[in-house]
Structure 1
Amino acid sequence: MTTLRTRVAAYAVIADSERILLCRISAQLPDLAGQWTLPGGGIDFGETPLAGMIREVNEETGLAVEPIDVAHVDSFVRPTPERTTHHVRIIYRARVIGGELRHEVSGSTDRCEWWPKDSLPPLVDLAEIGVRLAFAV
């Protein structure tokens, strides 16, 4: 019997007029490894989406951020033989208020970089949404 699960995650679009902050997916997720995504991830039980976004961004990038607004919410269902997961994604626009950019160690991402909007790396769909939100493309 397939298990049903809901996963709520919160992410940040951190950008200026010319560049966006993205994180490279690590080998921990072999199907997506090497592609780039928005910083963020799953929220912990009892954690608000906003607190989860702030924590996840800090874990993945070393940066402290504050929200500007909720930019996008979506959801989709992904079935596998073992489990069917309903993914809910909340994307905030955010600005950096402190910290120093660094790479996550032993996590779902392994590198974070600022990318110019006209020279982006291979993106997962979440990052494509973030680029559209950041640059209205």
Structure 2
Amino acid sequence: MEFTDYHTRLAAYALLVDERERVLLAWWNGEGHSDPEWSLPGGGIEFEESVRDGLVREVFEETGYHVEPGPLVAEHFFTARGRSFDGWFRAQRFVFDATITGGELGTTEVGGSTDHAAWVPLAELGGQPRSEIVDVALAAWRGEEARR
């Protein structure tokens, strides 16, 4: 399929794991078309933003934290049929290591796709509903291949 035959959604996410072996996650509410699940903080990049600027904005909206993006940890993509338009789309996702530089835990967006954020112990993540991007990021962080 040629690039002119599908839509593209760019998204950036932050992987934040603290010294207590907890990962910062955002509770995605499913937006009325999917089951809710944990995801990494982050999301869609606006047309006029760089990927890193979009990451900073999204993380603040979803978690209340200001972050400084670090190195790229993982890239991931998937393809699907569009929900809000006819045809196919490709979701291209970038996961960055990040450092918290300020703020405090608390979702700042109102009426958005994130209900709350929390530090979730890695040991308790196994049975939790979660987006594939969480597994992709943690596998890259551990130097493994993503699996569920």
Which among 104, 116, 122 is matched to residue 129 of structure 2?
122
**Count of residue pairs the alignment pairs up:** 134
Counterparts of 1:115 and 1:133, CA distance in 2: 18
Equivalent position of 2:92 in the other structure: 88
CA contact (8 A) 2:76 2:136 kept: no
Counterparts of 1:32 and 1:132, CA distance in 2: 23
Q: Counterpart of 1:32 in structure 2: which amino acid? A: D
Counterparts of 2:93 and 2:58, CA distance in 1: 13
- Percent identity over the alignment is 36
Counterparts of 2:112 and 2:42, CA distance in 1: 12
1:131 and 2:138 equivalent?
A: yes
Equivalent position of 2:31 in the other structure: 28
Counterparts of 1:23 and 1:135, CA distance in 2: 21
Calculate the TM-score normalised by the size of structure 2.
0.82
Counterparts of 1:133 and 1:105, CA distance in 2: 32
Q: Counterpart of 2:27 in structure 1: which amino acid? A: R
Equivalent runs, 1:1-137 vs 2, <5 Å: 4-17=6-19, 18-33=21-36, 35-80=37-82, 82-103=86-107, 104-120=109-125, 121-136=128-143
What per-residue deviation string (whole Å, max 9, x for no partner) do you get for residues 78-129 of structure 1?
Answer: 1258331111101101011100100243111101000111011221101111
Counterparts of 1:24 and 1:44, CA distance in 2: 21
CA contact (8 A) 1:13 1:38 kept: yes
Unmatched segments (≥5 aa) in structure 1: none
Q: Which runs of 4+ in 1 moved over 3 A?
A: 133-137
Higher strand share: 1
Higher helix share: 2
Unmatched segments (≥5 aa) in structure 2: none
3-state DSSP of counterpart to 2:130: coil
